[in-house]
Chain A
């Protein structure tokens, strides 16, 4: 809308397809996380991702987009009322770059969704679902939307004036190493600290209940991530192609590096290690994919694979229950990728900046460190305030009995797998009372068992 450029149909098609690819990452994340928890928690784990898809979709169209990409207030936050409800952006004359503004709205919406969903892995098996839903909206409003403004809102693109990290500090973060991964990782760490450890943490075996779900989920994340990174070019162009290949290279290298680390340390390369290495590589290349050569991407992938494989053990050393390693993979991977740009950036890549190893001196390096540190600190502190406030008012953790019985039964009155054939019990349905029909068995038998699930 600021720019007077015309809409390019190729660019628009690529961005819309990329938006759909990125949306698929969140159900992929639900599978990835869902397979890693015990059988009694898998539905809740998946529901946290699905819940984020629902709440953030609505928050984004009402005020989220405007808060992230509206006219800036001192580079800190967009005007949340400027495009409230988006009704001023529907005209075919509303263009950003070479695509309709609404295509940009769609693409950025799915980034907000997955960032919020990522956090859920840190609080598996124990978070009260209603409080989680409230948290998703509050956290997006106070943390994600402003941080996305800092990092993604360039001056003169969606608004005359954008965010401070993108325009003043000039940190390179192509697709969200800071705004998405460091942000979600720091938030996950704080919530894991506020909610406390699961019953039996580091004592009982809590092995993944279904590794095939984890592999399918990692595969969907891998696939969707090409929309995440290459789509961030916001056009079907050379930058999209370069970032696509860099994403491929770093991910393969990180997978190999994680497997090698495990082979040396534990004697076996595991499938969970391969899946985790893939995600660690994808995280690390996210900020860097426009700034490095494919060889640089391989180097970043190796760094991320090794460092994240080592970092996932920190929770046992320091005693915080980041259940599915949001810190070890997303915070550490995000930091590795964002800071590595300062070393590995090459002027031959689309971002056209030389890092320390390419003769560019320390200039870009400090910009990367300050940008990463600012997002980390902001997310850590503000998430702490939000998390504590919700914990003290609504309660963020289910009770002990519910956690032992399983959060699926406690929060959703469901169980994920009906593998036994001896069901027993009775049946009634929600409309029974309204239509005066009789259930085939005493309704009380179902009602009682549901109640037991909820309160026991």
Chain B
């Protein structure tokens, strides 16, 4: 199994969710995040004083999937989240040793 983590633009969340559902993913964890990449932050002006805001609001989407599905899930998210402009985000995957479903005690792929 692999954990797919995607950092995306907040307004892209709905499209990503729908794309993942269409692909057959049955659950996900979403959290608000902030950060910056190569685009850095943006600047805001209050009464003439300019502040640079480094940490830009993002959404983090996390999905645990079967190893064979991982590359497809990455490309599904990538396609749904892409605007082509700076700040679109990142996606990465890491191996996951085990998953347990709390309600039933099932382990591994059965728990997904």
The answer to whether the Cβ of B24 comes within 8 Å of any Cβ in the partner chain is no
CB-based contact B47/A325 at 8 Å: yes
Contacts of A266 in B (CB 8 A): 45, 48, 50
A312 and B46 CA atoms in complex are apart in Å by 10
A208 and B50 CA atoms in complex are apart in Å by 12
Contacts of A66 in B (CB 8 A): none
Binary interface encoding of chain B residues 44-74 relative to chain A, with 1 for a CB under 8 A from any of its CBs, else 0: 1111111111000000000000000000000
Residues in A245-294 with C-beta less than 8 Å from chain B: 262, 265-266, 268, 270, 272-273, 276
A255 and B44 CA atoms in complex are apart in Å by 20
Contacts of A427 in B (CB 8 A): none
Least distance between A117 CB and chain B CB atoms (Å)? 20
CB-based contact B48/A265 at 8 Å: yes
The answer to whether the Cβ of A316 comes within 8 Å of any Cβ in the partner chain is yes
Q: Of the candidates B47, B51, B53, which one forms a contact with A276 in the assembled complex, judged by CB atoms under 8 Å apart?
A: B47
Contacts of A423 in B (CB 8 A): none
CB-based contact A205/B53 at 8 Å: yes
Interface residues on A, range: 10 to 19
- 19 more A-B residue pairs beyond the given contacts A205-B52, A313-B48, with a C-beta to C-beta distance below 8 A: A205-B51, A205-B53, A207-B51, A207-B53, A262-B45, A262-B48, A265-B48, A266-B45, A266-B48, A266-B50, A270-B46, A273-B47, A309-B47, A312-B47, A313-B47, A313-B49, A316-B49, A325-B47, A328-B47
Q: Residues of B at under 8 Å CB distance from A?
A: 44-53
Residues in A31-90 with C-beta less than 8 Å from chain B: none
A325 and B50 CA atoms in complex are apart in Å by 16
Binary interface encoding of chain A residues 226-254 relative to chain B, with 1 for a CB under 8 A from any of its CBs, else 0: 00000000000000000000000000000
CB-based contact A272/B49 at 8 Å: no
Contacts of B50 in A (CB 8 A): 266
A205 and B46 CA atoms in complex are apart in Å by 10
Least distance between B53 CB and chain A CB atoms (Å)? 7
Residues in A176-214 with C-beta less than 8 Å from chain B: 205-208
A309 and B48 CA atoms in complex are apart in Å by 8
What would be 24 A-B contacts, judged by CB atoms less than 8 Å apart?
A: A205-B51, A205-B53, A206-B51, A207-B44, A207-B46, A207-B51, A207-B53, A262-B45, A262-B48, A266-B48, A266-B50, A268-B45, A270-B45, A270-B46, A272-B46, A272-B47, A273-B47, A276-B47, A309-B47, A312-B47, A313-B47, A313-B48, A325-B47, A328-B47
Least distance between A122 CB and chain B CB atoms (Å)? 14
B48 nearest in chain A by CB position: A313
A130 and B49 CA atoms in complex are apart in Å by 31
Least distance between A263 CB and chain B CB atoms (Å)? 11
A268 and B50 CA atoms in complex are apart in Å by 12
